[in-house]
Structures are given as C-alpha cells and as structure tokens.
Structure 1
Amino acid sequence: MSPAPAAPPPLPQTPPRTRTRRRSGTSARRRGAAGLLATALAVSVAQLPLSSFGADRTGPAAAASRGWGDSPAGLGDLDTRGTAAPTLTQRRAAAALGATVRWNAFGTPSSIFSPSGSLGSTGGADAVTAARDWVRTHRSLLGLSSSQVEGLELVNNQKLAGSRARAVLLRQRFGQLSPALASMVTVGVADGRIVYVSSSLTRTTGTPAAPVLNAEQAWLTAATNVGERLSLSDITRSVDPVTRGDWTRMRVTGLAQEQLARLRALALADGTVRPVFETNVVDVQGGSAKAYTVMVDAVTGAVLHRENQVEHSSDVQPFNGEITATQCGPRHEFELTDANTRQIAVVASTVNPANDITIKLFGANGEPLSSADLGTSPETLTYAPGGTLPKGVYATQVCPYESPTVPFTAPGTYTAVVTTSDSTGPQAQVPYPPKWAFFTANPSLDFSTDTVPGNRKVGCWEDQVDGARVPGCDLDLVNLAAKAPWDYSFDSQTPTFTTIGNAANTHEAWASPLTPGGLFQAPVSPTREYTPAFTDAWQNSRCNPANLVPGGNDIDASVTQLFASHNRMHDYSYFLGFTEQNYNLQQNNLGANPDPTRENDPEVGNAQAGGVTGASPASSAGTTRTRSRCRTASPASPTSTCSSRSPGRSTRRAPTAATT
C-alpha cells in the first residue's frame, strides 16, 4: 500500500443547490415488435418517483398528518448542471420530422417516437449502422455537430429478449474522458425501421481541462461534503493485482468498505465540460447505511453533483445502528432543505429495553442542540426552540446512558426515526397501521418435515384507513381494551418499533428458562410490519440444536407469535373484568387506577425459553411481573407449552406455535 499524497490547496465553497424536476414518461400502445421495443425503451429510461400507501399514524388518535416539513432521508440529491431550452433550429427539425418529441433539462430530446411506429427506414443496414445513419441525418434535432456525431462511441448493441429488435446505445466522449453522467443516445431498431430514440445528450462546445486534484483529494472532498470527518492521513490507496476498470481504490480508517474514485467528464447545460472525479463514499457498519455518489470538480474541488444511493421502502426514513456499554452509535445525518422547519422529533428504541439510552441532536454546524433521557426505551427527543430552524445538515445519535441502573446487555441494536415539522403541533409521521403475523390458535397439524403450516394470519391494527382497504390484512385488531396499537408506548407517546408495548414485552430467552436471558432477540421494524417468515425450522430439522444461532430457529416469528398471543389475551380478558382495577398487566394504567403500584407490570414474554440449556419451565419467586415462557420441544417431547405465572396466582395456558 502506498501512502496518501500531500494535502490539496484550499478549495472553494460548493456552488448553491439547484433542483431538476424528475419526469416520468407515458407510452401508447403499439403493434408488433416495434411497439414492444418502444414501450420497453420508454420504461427503461423513465425516472419514476417513489410513493407510499396510506396515512401516517402513531398512537390512539389516528388523525391524518399535516404540516410536515422535510423528509429526513439523509442528504438530498444535488445537481448543479443547470438547464437549457431547445434552440429554434432543433424545434424546426422536430416539426419537420412529424414525430412526438419531449425535451430534457439540457435542451435535447429525451424521447422521440411516432404514432405510426416508425421514425424511418434502416435501408437494410445492420442495427449499429442504421442507428448511426439516423443520428447523422437528424443531428440538428439532437443538437450535435457533424464532428460530434462521428465522435460518438458505441457502448452496446443489445438484442431484446424474445425479439429481433435491438437497442443501440451511443455515448459522447470529451477528449480522453468518458462522461460521468448522461451524454448518451439510445436508438431502437426493429423490423427494418427506427422505432424509438431517447437521449440525455448535451450541446457542448468545450473540452475538459487537465485535473489538478488527485483521486484521494477528490474523495476526501466528497466525504467531507456528506458529513465524514476525516483527513488525508486516514486514506491508503489499495494495491491489488486485479485491475477493476479505472477506479482508484482506497481503504479509509473508520470506514468498513473500500472507497472508490475515478476521473470522468461532466457536461453542463451551458455547453461547458468539467473534469470530475466520480467518487463513492460508502459506510455500512453497526446497522447504519450511508452511500453517496459525488462528482467533484477535478480543478476547483466544487461538488457538482451528489446522489444518495440508499433506498428505503417507506417515506419515513428510519435509521438503524448499534451501541455498546461505552460507545455511541454513528451520527445519523438528515437534511432540512428549507428554513421553514420549527420542530425536530426523534424516537429511538433498543432491542433490549433494559438498556437505557440517551438521544443527542446536533445542528447544521455539528454543534450540540439537545439531548434527552427519560429513563425508558423507547426514548424520545423533541426540539422546538421557537421560530424556524436554519436549513442544513443535522444529525442525531443514540448513546448508552452514562450511569445506568442495570448493567448493559448485548445486543445494543436500535432503530430510530426522525420527523420534522413546519409546525410545533403533535407529531404523527410514522407508518400506520402496524401489522403482526401469527397463528390464531395452533399451526395446522402436519408432522411432515417437508412442509410449513400455512394458516398464519396477518392482523392489522386497522384494516381500513381513511376509507381505503389496507393491503394484506386478514384481521382487524383495533379494540378499546388496548387503547392504542400493541407496539405503542404511552410513556414515550411513540411506537417502539419492536415487540414492546403497553401490555407485553417479548424477547428471545434461549439461555434461561426462568428469566429473560440469551440474546434478547426480537423483530425490529421501522415500518411496523412484524411479519417475519415462519419456516417451521425446529420441526423440519427434527429439533436440530444447530438452529439456535442468532436469527435462526424462526426466532423473530416466534417472538412475534408470543407477543401477539399475550396482547390478544390481555384484550380478551379485559372485557371479562381483568381491568386496571383488578390487577391487569399494563406498563401504564392511563390514570384508570391511581395506585402507582398497580402499573409498570406488562406481561414479560420469554420466547423459546431455555432453548439452549434445555431446561423445563418453572416459576420465578419474588417477581412483581408476570412472566410467560415458551420452550422449544425436544425429540422426546415433541410438543411445546406456554405458561404464564405470577406470585400467588394460578398458571394460565395459551395456544402457541409449535416452535415458539
């Protein structure tokens, strides 16, 4: 490995952000291979925005969210390439062609197609020759000069599956550099015709200057732009006999993944071309994911383009991480893209609720803004200092409490959700409704080792939201006994995003038949979808102890099953008189019983209790909480039981999954 070079000269500030609205294309029906090709190409080049289903809710009041500010999905995308309009010459060429032409942000055609299905004949030529001939003939429409047309390089001549049609991809080249983004044209050829053309070409007149920065300097600039606090001394260039393209590969102290940079060209809408380093800044460790592709000007060091490469399945962008007894999790960055935000709310929940945590909030300049420790998990922080907050990149961090009342117990996995608002009213922007997958009684009785019971149901807290049916719901669970979804904490006024709620607290307990003990595994879902797959691993492996490894033996499904069963028992027995006045099991009695000794006692569920030791279930003396244990079966005892006991009370038996 070779050392990193000396520090670069001071770099100017990043140019201001500009935004380009993404457009999604539409397509009409076509006949034959030409229609199939046109549709396929249209879909492949369309940029479709993400959307989400349903309303957002948190607790008992299922009110529609309103007044929300920015979505905390890490840093937003940045694009400073600018925009340009098509010239009069281009518009006249489009009119003369008689086709439908749509324009991109660079003033060149984003798509060209004809209602007749043909933009011209190939004259019997092969696909590549026909594509080049068409581009040459219509260079005025595309905004290219003759020399630029001749300089287009062939990237691909792709045959479409199940068809003789081909897509020919040509690319602009700027001096000795290939483009980092865009600057391409795709020509669809089928049945002797040109049937579709799409492009991201730029009307350029310049050539890129020689670079001043090197790969390490450019990568460090990109890393600083996305919030990493590093220096050149942290970077070591990788030496590997295997050549991987023209990437410079680097190892960076504190980052788990190899980092990449390569020299490219970036064409701007004003016709200039800048030399840039295409850099990848990636850090995926401790449960946190950060990945950006950043284009850094190789002369000035300005960040010209940035794209957040982390994709989430929900509009609410959660963060995940891990703490230890002494170390905080990573700083999770999010961006306020305007100056209208009045409130930031953070919710964090540990997989092991006994681990006390603190939430910290940092401002746009890295300065501490606030911290919170309510002595609970989940933990909440609300920051509303009065007035609006300046736009910029903020961060939140989850840390272990400095003076815990009980020792830290691994794992320290947590999930956190950040919401921002343009008002200081109640926050409600979390996924809703929550869902749980469970057996309503017992799995279907099939002792084959090749099958999986198929009679699990998905229960949703509500199966209709705002009059719309929620997909995938078999059961509607909402009821007055629970007063809020099963995963809701009245102490923090937020969901827990795991199998902790007001009536039940459920985790794996492989190491102890009497108390919570083991890895404390439990499903954690930022989307509140507690529907892990159930494979019947214990039964189908004939009770093989090798299943008892982290994440194995259907543990998440088993914990979910026990959690759902305890909540169903709570809700059913409530209407039989087992209420706050009669010693029912709840974390918070919501004022229904003024005696403080009658709360803080949710049902503690120990899933697969003693599964590693093989011990049988027994009651625990001296406890003030009711504990329920579900143990795994053994070959000599091919059934499983769940028992729930508290001092001086009789045992309740509940149906459960065979491997719970």
Structure 2
Amino acid sequence: MPHPEWSPWMSRRRRRLIPVLAATAVVAALLPTGISSAAPAGGAAPAERRSGPFAEGYQHADVDNRAGSAAPDARQRGLARKADPDVRWNKLGTPHALGPGAAPLATGLPAEPEAAARAYLAANRDLFGLDADAVADMERVLVRPVGSGAVVTLRQRFGDLPAGYDGLVTLAVSKGKVLSVSSSLSRDAATPTPATLSEEQAYEAALTDAGLDAAAVASHSVRTVAVPTPLEGPRSAYEVTLIGSDSDHPAAFTTYIDGITGKVLVREDLVDFDSENPSWAVFPATPPRNLGPGQDPRVRWCADPAPGCRDAYRDPATGNAWDVDAATGTPTFTSRGNSANTVVSWGAGNPMVPATTSPERRYEYPFTDQWHQAKCNPEVFTSAQRNDTDAAIGNLFAMHNRMHDWAYQLGFTESAWNLQAVNLTPDGLGGDAEQGRAQQGALSGNRNNANQGTPRDGLPPTTNMYLWQPQAGGPYPPCVDGDYDMTVIGHEYTHAISNRMIAGPDSGIGGHQGGSMGESWSDLLATEFLFQHGLRAPGETPFIVGGYVTGNLVSGIRNYDLSRSPLNYSDVGYNTGGPAVHADGEIWGATNHRVRSAMVKRYGLGTPKLQLECAQGKVPADRCPGNRRWSQLVFDSFLLQAASQVSMLDMRDNMLTADLLRFDGKNQDLIWAEFARSGMGRDAVTNGAGDTDPTPSFASPSGGNATFTLRPRGESADAPIRLYVGAYEARATPVADTDPATALGDTVELVAGTYDLIAVAPGFGHQRMRVTAKAGHNGHLDLKLDRNLASTASGATVSGDGVNLDRVADDTEATNWASLDGVAGKQVTVALPGDKPHVVKRVNVSAMLRPAISGDADAGSQNALSSLRSFAVLACNAKKADCTDPANFTRIYTSKSDAFPGGAYRAYTRDINLREFRVPTTQATHLRLEVLASQCTGGPAYAGEQDADPATTTDCATASPARDQVRIAEFQAFSK
C-alpha cells in the first residue's frame, strides 16, 4: 500500500537501471510516496518495482516463471549435510550455501585460488553434478584477493552458451582450503536445443511483457544465453534489456525470453533518481537546516590542494580530476567525467542538460536556496536563477564522484564491475558512469523521492533526485532539494554498489530479504561515508538518513535511527502495512550497526586523521579502527554471494566468511554474538530470500547463552501465552509459547544481554517486560499476566461506531477497528464481563495499522495519518446508572494531545504501537474509548498551509481523505 512514510527508499536492489536500469538494472528509492507507473504485463507480476519513493509498499515487478524445483537425491543430501549440517538448497538442485563452519569444506587443494576452486568442484561431482570437463569449461568471472585468501566466481556454460541467469558459483578460498560456497549452479548441464526465434522476435516478446512499445524505449540490448530451469533443463534464451525513455516514470527490465517458445522465463525489474585545478562549490553533507536568505555556506573542493580549497580529490582509478574525459584526457568543462555524468531533468518535455559550461573549470555556481526560500512556489522554474539548477547539478556530480572514490578503496573497482565510462584496467566493461538526474520531474509534479536504476556491467546506471514538498495526507517534508542531501545521494549510489557486486556482473539482488538488505546497506554506507570523513548530516545522531529532506531529526526517513533500533529478525513484516523492504531493511540495519558497534568497542575509533587515512585507502583495513573494519567486511561479503536470491542468513554467513579471509577469523565470536542478539543466531531458519516469516534464534553457536523456560503464574497459569522479543507483536514471530497445541516450545535460549520482551495471551492482552540473560543461566521466566477486562476472550462485548468493532478487543495489534465517516467523537463501548463492577486502574491502547484484508469492512489501504492521536476514556457503573444512556458516562481520563505523537514528515510505526496509560482508580461495568483526534486532524506537523504553491493545499484536516478516518488496533483494561 502506498505509505506516507515515504517508504523509505524504495530503492531496491539490483544492478539494474534507473530506477533501476538495465541489463539487469535495479532501482532504488527513498520515500514513502513515490511516483507510480503502469505495471508490466505478463506473469503474476506485482505492480511495479523500483527504488523510489524512498517508497513504502512499492512492489518490485520481478517474475520467475521457471516451475518446480530439482530435488537433490539422497546421496547428494548426505554429502551436503556432511559438509554443512545447515546446508540450504537452490531450486536447480545444488547447494545454495555451504559453510562457513568450524572446519574448512576442503583442504589440500592447489595454492592458486582459481585452481583450488576448480579442483574442489571437480572433486565434488556427486554434490554439484559437474564433471571435470564442465568445470574446465566454466568462465572465470572474478578472482579477487581478500586478506589471506581470495573470492573466486565462476560461470557455468551450457554447450556454447554462457548462463544468463543463475549458473554462478562463488567460493571463498584460502591457502589451499575452501571456506564457503555460494551457488546458483544447475545439476543439469546439458547442451540446450538451439533457439528457433530471432533476436527481433525476442525483443518484441520482451516489449509486450514490459507493457512498452518500441517508441517508449530509449535503448535496448539483446544477447544469446542459456537459462537453466529446474524441470526442463537448460533453455536457449535471449537476454533482453530495455531502458524506457520516460524520465518521469522510469522503467527498465532485463527479460529472459525462451528462444523456442517465446515465453518469459525470468523478468528482472531494474528500477530498487583557465585553470588546471578545477573546483566545485558543495555541501559536503547537507545545507544547514535553517539557512537564511542570501546565505551560502558551501565549501570549495579542488582537484589539487590550493588556498581556499577545503579538500582536494582526484579519481583514484585514473588520477584525473573529476571533470576529465578519460578517453581523451581532456576536461569536459561541465558536469561530465569518467565516474559521473550529471544533468538537470525537469521532465514535461524539457530536455536534460548538463551544468552551464565553465571554461575556467570553476564549477562554483550561484546558490540562493531558491526552492526553500520560495516555499515551493513554482515561479522559481521561470526565474533567472532557474531554481539553482547549476548548483544542484554541481553538487550531485561532486557527491557521486566522492562515493565512487570512497567505494573504490573498499573494493568497488573495475574487477568488481564499478561505474566508469573508461576502465584503465582490463577488468570490467566500462561505458557505465553514473548518470545523475537533478531535480527529476520537477515540472511534472514529481516530489519526495529518490531512486537508482542499475543495469548489468557496461550499461550506465541512473540516480534520480527529486525536490521535496509537503502533500496533504502524505509526507510532510520541508521545501528542499534532495540534490543537497548526501545521505540520500549516498543511499542511492550504494544500490548500484550492492547490485553490481552481488551475484556477478549481470544480476542483482532478489527476494524480499534481499531487497530489504539492499535498502539497509544503502542507509548504512551512506552514513558511514560521512562518518569516516568527519562529516555530519542533520539528526540527533550521525546515523540518520534523510534528516535534511524530511525535517525529522529523530529518525529521518526511517522508523528508527540505525543506532537506536530495537528491531530483530523476528520482526520481519512488523510495519503497519506488512512486509516492506524499507521497514524490514531496518532489521538488517540494526543488526549491522550492532556488529559495527562491537567492532568499535574492540578496535576503537582512532583519531580523525586515522579515520580519514583509512577512508582514503592509505592504511590497510587490519590497521584501521573498528568501523572501517566493519565496512570492509560488508564490501567483502558482497563478492561472496553468487545467487541473486539472497537471504539475511546468507549474508550473515558471508560476513563470517569475509572475516575468515580478511582478518583470519579474529572476529567470529563478536559477529556471531551480535547476529544472535538480533535473532539470526545458531538455530535461525529461513525459507529462502522471499520468506517474510522466518524463524528467529537468539542463541550463539559459540556458547554464552542463557536458557529460560516460561512459567505462567496466577490467573494466567493456564493461558496460552506467546512470548516475543523486541517491541512488536503484530506480524512478528514468537520465540516461545505455553500452548501445547503448537509446535513452538516453552523454552527460549538467549545469548548474554538485555532484552525487551512482550507476553501476549487471549484474555490477557499485552505485557511488556525486560530480562537480562547471563551466560550459562538456566531458569524460569515467570509470567503473571493480569486479566484484560476489555477482551472478548474474557467475556467482554463491544458496541459503538465504525466497523470491525470486536477487533479492538481481540488481544492482538494485527487487526483494528475503524471509523470511515468521521473522527472526533467516534467511540467504541466495552461492556466488561459479568454483572458486577470491576476496578480499572490502567488501559493499553494501540493505534497500529494493518495490511488490507480481503472481505474486511475496511479492506482498503490504510493511511498512516488515519491512526489515532489522542483519546478520552469514559466509564459507567450499571449498578448506579443506565449505561445505555450516553449521559451517564463520566470522563475519567483525557490523554495528552500527542498520546501517539506522530512526527515531522509522517506518523512513524514506532509512534503508534501499543502504549500503557494510568487512569484514576474507577469502578465500572462499561468503558468507552472516545476519539479526540487522529494524526491527520490533530497533528500540528500536518496542519495548515505549509507551502506557497498555489496548485496545492496541504492541510490534512481539510484536504485529505484521511480527515474522515481513524483507526485503533487495541483497547485493553486492567485492575492492577
């Protein structure tokens, strides 16, 4: 569902094109409400998949029509389990992942990494199904030294055809040992029947599938490949990459067309927006939040040190200044160089043009902060300053170059398929500098977004950056230009990094968990870039993404600040709209930040000088502070992943393997402990990259765990209590329960640490608690829950306004009550169980939203601004008055106006989940929960006219459909 939470960067995953581009392109984006475009036809594809809006609810249009699964035989399973008891399988009948374990998968192999990898595969024919000839025919894709070992990636061939999709294997090799294997290999390596269709027919089939015509395509490429299938063996196919020409609604797909039937085998949505010393005027992080008229605090960056230049930078790949064309060795005198090509892209039929030419190479264009100072007034587009377009282009160009240069030192080089027009080494293809589009769609009304499209190596990726503007009932950002927010720019560029480095040069990141991690890596590395360079974007901590563009300094575009998040693997799907790559990506972000913090605790932060020298690649990782070591492991882990369908557990294992290669395994205990604290411990299980309900585990294989057995007490002694780790119950996965009818046991194992827990049971509502797990402890967790008097399971009945009345009293936040025809004064009345009055001392209330439920009276999308903000509790005692008469209810509690606070930009999930409120001790047979305001009608951040755009009205209470809707998930009442 479109979520006014910007959907945190809808960016997504792949190495594909602009919003995701390309031969395999990926688009990644930032917001909660983004630009929509028609869904491609064919397959049961979700609407559209691209990186953007930072957009929650965006569904990627990936399709895999290859039916079935090639099941491994008993001998193969036995061999795999012997190598790794936790082996995971791909659909083509070979191990998806093996290792790392306590011992190497193989020893005594050749010292040369590629020879060792081939020897291992040939020696394990019964496991992988490839004979010596098939292994010898495999194409070398990558051999990258890492620490004491190397990462080796090989591509399978089927007859004369290379694998186009899948068919890759990546091995971590060190000193004649194989430490881990990631594979999308096929056991069936037969030569496929030759294609009978022509390239043109394949192109037409791909156009039809994408819902495009040739006139809507800016460029396309077609090549012959083989695509392995689980049940029909390898198929001759055409890999067709389409890049749409509509910059307002970016579209890019790589489609694999069966060369005989013309059917779509696989579709990937590529869209996860006179001097020899040139200089640029830039904001290294962001502009100040409250910049006054006429102020221009930008700094000057130059190619070489000089008076007046804050810093000096050159391209580490070529040694040239950023504005030099590496093919000719001469300056371009504008916003084009070897690593970036940046233009303004207003849309609405306007041409995309680079920055104004500067013969002196002084790219210090005037900046007046026009969009902000004019409060989004569209007259800026016809002014002489043209909304500071040259300044925006220059800033975006410089930031893309900085991300290129920083990532280059971490391993995103030509051999890892980076983004450069010209590669000066024999590695990679070149021809794919980052295409930056400043103020994308400004005249088409596109706002509040950012996205990245990343196609395969050799095809240029694209970032779209947008203007930000408040929207009635949607996000409420300030009037700012995203081209100046480095956290957003770095986020989008990192989509290209992860999609290029994972799964080889022609594929990108797939699956819900993969897409979620793609969003997370983009947040993590954008903030880490700034940290390592001593820079700070707006926010209460350095680990907030989008604070400048959203105006929210608590968590930016996300539900949580990366460094202050309670999320863990049991929370997949926790967000108000259900599973979403931006919200679930925060789980991976929280986990990685815990690993980073532990690395910092072990190795320190060093000095600012050492941080900078490490960021510039002048000091090797094993002599750098903990945060730099962590970022190096992240980059190394990308190269260890051969299959595009990737889960969080896959990448956990890759981090462990990277540590074995890079740091000789010195951090295995630390990495395992933090992943365990995040629910990805020893016994965690996932059903593949698309799994939105994985099984968490909080136990470390290294020991140091505590064991707790649930012991219900008091009135709840016989209740089927579910126990959750973290802050959420709705759509989260319990770690233990006391219900003998379920397969889940009543014992939970936790690695040492402090945990927030939630105990939930029918008739007893929610109880939050905190427990400290000490290594080696084995004991009970006493659960003495108080009766929820307002629960239908306790005998309460519900009446009142709106729809889904009973769902406000069903002891779960996964469902909710709604009023769809008004807000203030709407109420639900709960008749407490029995005939006698009950003492009431506290209530729990939740304003959580939920995904659409088919057949529900409130089945449609739920706007976050329709959640409850403030309320009153009224009581009546039927022993003293007639409780059918509203006049006999007395108000006993009035909440604060921000009981569920909401925040600048949007109402965040963390703000609307269940909260406890103490009420005056009251005897009652009936309780009434009365709505005072919703987020829309009562939130000051969403009230009034907030811009000077005559074509828009921003006041939520008068201009948004959310003004008439309010939702409440739970109302619980207790005597204690």
* TM > 0.5: no
Task: Name the structure with the higher strand share.
Answer: 1
Q: Point out the structure with the larger helix share.
A: 2
TM-score (norm 1): 0.38
